[in-house]
Structure 1
Amino acid sequence: MARQSISFTNPNDAWLKEQVESQEYSSKSELINDLIRQVRKSQAQIDWIQAKLERAEKSGFTGNSQEQIRQQAKDLINGRLSTK
């Protein structure tokens, strides 16, 4: 596992310490890794939606209904749909 040295602002450091002290996480490293996983998942969802929008704009139409598009977005958010 790669080791890094990073600096935090005082408010961010205090928040991290609170999370560890409340036993929400066992260490700051565990918390930071969890936050990064969450952001990466969110970015994958954003990228998927952006790609769908770009394809729709280029084609000028879609065969999917509004409900189908909504359901696909919900499935993606809930981890039930591939981002490809």
Structure 2
Amino acid sequence: MADLAPQRRLPHFPCNDDHLGNRDMARSLQVTLPDDLMQDIADAVESGEAPTTNELVNRALDAYFRMDREKRLAALRARIADAVNDPRPSVPIGEAFERIRADVSRRHRQS
């Protein structure tokens, strides 16, 4: 069942695409947030925890995308470490590509 809590609209504010490396380009974004979250934002700005609503939302989005990036990097690092620490002997590049071609060919025939 949908949450029927009253909601207020956040005014338009610049949204920076820092996670895309475009900090200089600002865009406008309108979001609708529940009253309790709006109050948390207002309290954080009023207390000085964040200078503005815009800055608080930017920080939250930056943290979200940084966390996602860190998870992907950690997974990639783990795979690299597994490969480096694999006790099996290395496979010459030609043989590796032959195996890949054979696997692709086999899969293609099965489909």
The normalised TM-score by structure 1 is: 0.61
The CA RMSD over aligned residues, in Å, is: 2.2
TM-aligned CA deviation for residue 26 of structure 1: 2.0
Match of 2:44 in 1: 19
Match of 1:34 in 2: 59
Q: Distance in 1 between matches of 2:36 and 2:77?
A: 38
1:27-65 CA-to-partner distances (Å, cap 9, x unmatched) read 1111000111112222221111111223345x3835xxx
Q: Distance in 2 between matches of 1:26 and 1:52?
A: 36
Q: Which has the higher strand share?
A: 2
Match of 2:85 in 1: 61
Unaligned runs of 5+ in 2: 1-25, 87-111
The normalised TM-score by structure 2 is: 0.48
Q: Based on CA coordinates, which of the two structures has the bigger radius of gyration? A: 2
Unaligned runs of 5+ in 1: 63-84
Q: Which has the higher helix share?
A: 1
Counterpart AA for 1:41: R
Identity of aligned residues (%): 13
